[in-house]
Amino acid sequence: MKKIAICSGSFDPITKGHVDIISRAADVFDAVVVAILTNSKKEPLFSVEERQAQIHEATQSLANVEVDAFEGLLMTYAREKQASAIIRGLRAVSDFEYEMQVAAMNKHIAPEIETFFMMTNNAYSYLSSSIVKEAAKYQTNVDDLVPPGVSKALREKFADQ
């Protein structure tokens, strides 16, 4: 049976840290679904449609990656998608505690689905969507940190500030 993994997150916006995790997951699994969580508590900078288009563009060279969005429980969505794994990226130790809690709850909800943690690429260990937004807001060049389409979109978003 085809092994499907889900890379979930807010991706507001997608960074090169995310792309690194997604492409490594795509090397290991038959198919990877990048799933944007739409009911996040956070007020997003980019709409779901904008984020979906940005992820699509950033992963277009990866034939077994698809982009989608979901609302509600990740495990319900994962079952719908017939996924066998959830992939999460780990950066600093600070990610660990929260991720462990979520993984434990997800295991409780859907014992048949495994959560896999992938260590960040060292080059991106301090990279987050929020730090990128903060930098871009003050006209800092973030070309090294995000896909080209995102860099352009950030410049446009903050052009009038």
| DSSP string across 10-29 | --TT--HHHHHHHHHHHHHS
The residue type of 155 is R
Residue 24, interface with ligand ADP (CB under 6 A)?
no
Only segment of 44-52, 67-75, 87-95, 152-160 that touches ligand ADP (CB under 6 A): 87-95
CA nearest neighbour of 74 among 110, 45, 48: 110
Q: Which is nearer to ligand ADP, 89 or 159 (CB)?
A: 89
Task: Report yes or no: 17 and 124 within 8 Å, Cβ to Cβ.
Answer: yes
- Taking CB under 6 A as the criterion, the residue among 4, 5, 6, 9 binding ligand ADP is 9
Residue 70, SS3 per DSSP: strand
Which parts of the chain are beta strand (E)?
4-9, 31-37, 65-70, 85-90, 114-119
Taking CB under 6 A as the criterion, the residue among 78, 113, 127, 150 binding ligand ADP is 127
- Where does this chain touch ligand ADP (CB under 6 A) — which range of 5-13, 25-33, 50-58, 76-84? 5-13
Q: Which residues sit at the interface with ligand ADP, rule CB under 6 A?
A: 9-11, 15, 17-18, 21, 88-89, 91, 95, 120, 124, 127-129
